[in-house]
Amino acid sequence: MSEAPEASAPETLEVSETFTRAQELDAADELAPLREKFVLDDVVYLDGNSLGALPACVPERVQDVVRTQWGSLRIRSWDESGWWTAPERIGDRIAPLVGAAPGQMVVGDSTSVNLFKALVAAVRMAAQGGHDGGAGEVRDEILVDATTFPTDGYIAESAARMTGCTLRPVAPAEVPDALSGRTAAVLFNHVDYRTGRLHDLPGLTAAAHAAGALAIWDLCHSAGALPVGLDEHGVDLAVGCTYKYLNGGPGSPAFLYVRRELQDRFDSPLPGWNSHAQPFGMRPDYEAASGALRGRVGTPDILSMLALEAALEVWDDVPVDAVRAKSLALTDFFLECVAAYVPAGAVECLTPLAHAERGSQVALRCRDAGDVMKRLIAGGVVGDYRPPDVLRFGFTPLYVGFADAERAARILGETLS
Amino acid sequence: MSEAPEASAPETLEVSETFTRAQELDAADELAPLREKFVLDDVVYLDGNSLGALPACVPERVQDVVRTQWGSLRIRSWDESGWWTAPERIGDRIAPLVGAAPGQMVVGDSTSVNLFKALVAAVRMAAQGGHDGGAGEVRDEILVDATTFPTDGYIAESAARMTGCTLRPVAPAEVPDALSGRTAAVLFNHVDYRTGRLHDLPGLTAAAHAAGALAIWDLCHSAGALPVGLDEHGVDLAVGCTYKYLNGGPGSPAFLYVRRELQDRFDSPLPGWNSHAQPFGMRPDYEAASGALRGRVGTPDILSMLALEAALEVWDDVPVDAVRAKSLALTDFFLECVAAYVPAGAVECLTPLAHAERGSQVALRCRDAGDVMKRLIAGGVVGDYRPPDVLRFGFTPLYVGFADAERAARILGETLS
């Protein structure tokens, strides 16, 4: 931990008031007891939007999976320990957190691989007449968020190349104007990984649909952080990772959502044997399973998958609306503390102040941001650095409290003074 | 355990002689001490070609990964615990087991996903003039082993569809006649999953090359069971799973081999951010990394990946040639015991008797095979059933001994009497 510089009198006053406020907010926080469900230490961990903290129930479960299910039952566990059905079972566990009814999600593969499935399947559906399956036009263009997390753009480029489409990067706000009868699908990021901006999922989905295109959403930075409403807003396909706000562990498998009405038309570019109607029939010809199972591919990575399943238990009886309310309160309070502690002009907030446009992170532009983040980490505040000049602080309402926010801002202020 | 039926006198004599022989063979087996490195019980486990047994060092390693690396170091583990470089590091650990020099393999994703990468990349290389990169013909046909494990065929069909090729299933022995100037790539299974037949990797690879096509090998049933010689025989691309003879755990990530000379031409259909030349540069445009890294896609599943890494430690100082010699001795001996114990005509061996054509399993055709396997499992002998009529017994030389082979055949004989 770095030594705090000696504070001058007015600053001491501010520190004291803000510090007291943090205590009061924590005392009034109904979600505060959830922190006990995680393994934490005296570090302020604001990097849960990169890798969520370890839920306390996970280590024992993983030991049971390794020692008993693998070590003792061995191959019998595919049935007896429920390994075979884990992708759809865990999909159904995540579903309510993103506003999806059961039977529309599977877990498995990485986000990148799921993006490929979703994009290619969307273009194929569009070739049958767009998102509503009506009479067809030639739809040979994919639109992608121009500020997307890079892998989405790379994979969209590949999907476009392999389906004879053109890829067109467009700023999300300009998507409505860019849509046309040629648009097959639009791939959006729900929350911008860099700035923390929350995009208008209902409005942009409706705009895509009005043009007859399919809407695909990448929920990596929103699943587990805020209500998504996949079913309510008629999203067609969605993907997301499970190791950020869902705390599934490093590289835990991603999820794929396929809206029920589209499942019969979901034509996967990765038709592995796990998605076959009779996977153990060992048939030479492929026949797709019905439902969400169609999104499966090969043998699922059981250790990572069942660690995720255990991690999801912390969500029992936790309403996503309450998580969202705390997230906004936390980021509001953090920004207040930053204003109180950080020298004027030293940072610029890239994250929108309007609640409707804010995810669960705060991104601050700052000189020498890479070096500043190193010093923050040395001072016990872990966020991350996104080149060229962004300090990124993620707020996971399940285990981050207001005192954490106050301390992070205070140490940031000390670092920049 | 089922009760053994009372044996008649001549049978008792045979049992006794064969049983003694097993003891002698085990006593002379230099690999026998390796069994101590696995968690085993009194079951005869002949299903290691479906899910390898648990190596004893794995549970503690996994606990360390979960509790310390994830739980305490959290995001720092991407660097400090070597998570980021695990795919290529573990690839290099597997490489000598399949006859590959370092720098040509990465671990990650499922076998099915890696098959897709390999097939599409092969067709793209073929479009540049076949496996040697010479002057181009139109190569628009993929040949696939007609008796392949189904997922290979399904994925090959998808790769063909997405690259404008035709897929043609051909029995491996007929591949040389089926090759032509149109052949872009041939996908072979090194060992047939059902019959245990070992295909001629050097000869078939040379035949594919002579026709200017690329040779892709699926090593799921040979990696860790027998020498493969990828480099020696000039194989172009190979994939394989790690949860069978490599004992990596349920659904542990698969590997992808890309021959060094082809790496600059490897054009992945799944260009995720992990395969970017500057993955943390967050560049909007894709630029492929050099070398084997190009086969990576998204964030690797660290728990499954590092369990595999621990599991591979049992291979320290174990020569694959010794494993192969024991495998052949075990399967020879098992067939002898079957001949001694099983009523004549009750089973038919589908696995070739010639060593050069045998993998590390014995497949027996048998009436009511599904029911017979259930009774064997109840009797403490675990193999598996492959529809419609095959009993499959896998022999993992690292932990299966000759007494196991004798007991399995004896209980099979009792079951079928």
Same domain, A347 and A276: no
From the candidates A38, A65, A74, A276, which should be mutated to test the interface with B, based on the most B CB atoms within 10 A?
Answer: A74
Q: What is the mean pLDDT of chain B?
A: 94
Cα(A276)–Cα(B5) distance, rounded to whole angstroms? 41
Query: What's the confidence (pLDDT) of residue B9?
Result: 39
Q: Tell me the whole-structure pTM to 2 decimals.
A: 0.95
Instruction: Supply the CATH number for residue B109's domain.
Output: 3.40.640.10
DSSP B387: T
- The answer, for A155 touching chain B at a CB cutoff of 8 Å, is yes
List pLDDT tens digits, range A163-210.
999 999 999 999 999 999 999 999 999 999 999 999 999 999 999 999
List pLDDT tens digits, range B401-417.
999 999 999 999 999 99
Q: Give the closest-approach CA distance of A305 to chain B in angstroms.
A: 9
Nearest to A214 by CA among A277, A265, A289, A152: A265
Q: What is the pLDDT averaged over residues B266-280?
A: 95
Q: Is A1 within the bounds of a domain?
A: no
Closest CB to B54 among A62, A70, A112: A70
Contact B153 A113 (CB under 8 A): no
- Answer for the pair A248, A242: CB distance below 8 angstroms, yes or no: yes
Q: What count of CB pairs under 8 Å joins A to B? A: 252
Closest CB to A162 among B45, B269, B305: B269
Q: Which one of B243, B245, B333, B399 is the catalytic residue?
A: B243
Query: What's the confidence (pLDDT) of residue B16?
Result: 77
Nearest Cα residue in chain A from B64:
A59
Q: Is the pLDDT of residue A396 over 70?
A: yes
Nearest Cα residue in chain A from B374:
A76
> Which positions in chain A touch B78 (Cβ < 8 Å)?
51, 250
Query: What's the confidence (pLDDT) of residue B152?
Result: 93
Q: What is the pLDDT averaged over residues B94-107?
A: 98
- The answer, for B110 touching chain A at a CB cutoff of 8 Å, is yes
Virtual CA dihedral for B143, B145, B149, B154, nearest 10 degrees? 20
Query: What's the confidence (pLDDT) of residue A391?
Result: 97
Chain B (38-77) residues lying within 8 Å, Cβ to Cβ, of chain A: 39, 41, 45, 47, 50-51, 53-54, 58-59, 62-63, 66-67, 69-72, 74-75, 77
* Residue B147 pLDDT level (bands cut at 50, 70, 90): confident
Q: Give the closest-approach CA distance of A371 to chain B in angstroms.
A: 16
Note down the domain range covering A269: 60-315
List pLDDT tens digits, range B5-43.
443 334 555 667 899 999 999 999 999 999 999 999 999
Query: What's the confidence (pLDDT) of residue B11?
Result: 54
Query: What's the confidence (pLDDT) of residue B133?
Result: 61
Look up B218 and say whether it is catalytic: yes
Look up B399 and say whether it is catalytic: no
Nearest Cα residue in chain A from B158:
A269
Same domain, A82 and A15: no
SS in 3 state form for B49-94? CCCCCCECCHHHHHHHHHHHHHHHHHHHHHHHCCCCCHHHHHHHHH
Q: Give the closest-approach CA distance of B338 to chain A in angstroms.
A: 24
- Answer for the pair A270, B158: CB distance below 8 angstroms, yes or no: yes
- Between B112 and B3, the more confident residue is B112
Same domain, B208 and B350: no
Q: Give the closest-approach CA distance of B22 to chain A in angstroms.
A: 25
- Decide which of A271, A298, A315 is a domain's last residue: A315
Contact A116 B270 (CB under 8 A): yes
Nearest Cα residue in chain A from B388:
A281
Q: What is the CA radius of gyration of chain A?
A: 23
Same domain, B87 and B24: no
Q: Is the pLDDT of residue B192 over 70?
A: yes
Q: Is the pLDDT of residue A266 over 50?
A: yes
From the candidates B112, B285, B296, which should be mutated to test the interface with A, based on the most A CB atoms within 10 A?
Answer: B112
What's the ipTM? 0.95
Positive or negative, the CA dihedral B25, B26, B27, B33 is positive
Same domain, B323 and B259: no
List pLDDT tens digits, range A282-340.
888 999 999 999 999 999 999 999 999 999 999 999 999 999 999 999 999 999 999 99
Return the amino acid letter for A14: E
- Decide which of A315, A330, A363 is a domain's last residue: A315
Q: Is B282 within the bounds of a domain?
A: yes
Contact B154 A272 (CB under 8 A): yes
The answer, yes or no, to whether the previous bond of B279 is cis (omega within 30 of 0) is: no
Nearest Cα residue in chain A from B73:
A53
Q: What is the pLDDT averaged over residues A58-72?
A: 98
Same domain, B99 and B173: yes
The percent of residues in chain B predicted with pLDDT above 70, rounded, is 95
Cα(B301)–Cα(A107) distance, rounded to whole angstroms? 13
Query: What's the confidence (pLDDT) of residue A8?
Result: 39
Same domain, A65 and A180: yes
> Which positions in chain B touch A302 (Cβ < 8 Å)?
249-251, 304
Query: What's the confidence (pLDDT) of residue A304?
Result: 97
> Which positions in chain B touch A67 (Cβ < 8 Å)?
39, 54, 59
Q: Is B335 within the bounds of a domain?
A: yes
Q: Taking each helix axis from N to C terminus, what angle separates B302-311 and A302-311, rounded to the nearest 10 degrees? A: 140
- Decide which of A315, A350, A381 is a domain's last residue: A315
**Cβ-count burial of B403 within 10 angstroms (0-12 exposed, 13-18 middle, 19+ buried)?**
middle
Q: Is the pLDDT of residue B282 over 90?
A: no
Q: Is the pLDDT of residue B201 over 70?
A: yes
List pLDDT tens digits, range B361-390.
999 999 999 999 999 999 999 999 998 999
Q: What is the mean pLDDT of chain A?
A: 94
Q: Is B43 within the bounds of a domain?
A: no
Same domain, B215 and B169: yes
Closest CB to A298 among B75, B111, B274: B111
List pLDDT tens digits, range A74-93.
999 999 999 999 999 999 99
Q: What is the pLDDT averaged over residues A119-134?
A: 84
Same domain, B158 and B91: yes
Query: What's the confidence (pLDDT) of residue A2?
Result: 39
Chain B (331-370) residues lying within 8 Å, Cβ to Cβ, of chain A: none
Q: Is B38 within the bounds of a domain?
A: no
> Which positions in chain A touch B110 (Cβ < 8 Å)?
109, 272, 297-301
Contact A39 B83 (CB under 8 A): no
Contact A110 B297 (CB under 8 A): yes
The least confident of A39-53, A251-265, B143-157, B300-314 is B143-157
Contact B110 A304 (CB under 8 A): no
Q: Which one of B92, B145, B152, B218 is the catalytic residue?
A: B218
Query: What's the confidence (pLDDT) of residue B13?
Result: 58
The pair of three-digit structure tokens given for residue B99, joined into one six-digit string: 């006859």
Contact A282 B154 (CB under 8 A): no
Q: Is B39 within the bounds of a domain?
A: no
Q: Which one of A244, A259, A296, A326 is the catalytic residue?
A: A244
Closest CB to A300 among B59, B75, B251: B251
Nearest Cα residue in chain B from A116:
B270
Contact B298 A112 (CB under 8 A): yes
SS in 3 state form for A91-135? HHHHHHHHCCCCCCEEECCCHHHHHHHHHHHHHHHHHCCCCCCCC
From the candidates A81, A303, A373, A393, which should be mutated to test the interface with B, based on the most B CB atoms within 10 A?
Answer: A303
Q: What is the pLDDT averaged over residues B58-75?
A: 98
Chain B (395-414) residues lying within 8 Å, Cβ to Cβ, of chain A: none
List pLDDT tens digits, range B104-129.
999 999 999 999 999 999 999 998 87
Same domain, A279 and A326: no
- Answer for the pair B273, B298: CB distance below 8 angstroms, yes or no: yes
Cα(B214)–Cα(B185) distance, rounded to whole angstroms? 4
Q: Is B50 within the bounds of a domain?
A: no
Query: What's the confidence (pLDDT) of residue A9?
Result: 39
- Between B73 and B280, the more confident residue is B73
Instruction: Supply the CATH number for residue B412's domain.
Output: 3.90.1150.10
Please give the tally of structural domains in chain B: 2
Q: Is A50 within the bounds of a domain?
A: no
Same domain, A280 and A139: yes
Same domain, B232 and B342: no
The percent of residues in chain A predicted with pLDDT above 70, rounded, is 94
- The answer, for B378 touching chain A at a CB cutoff of 8 Å, is no
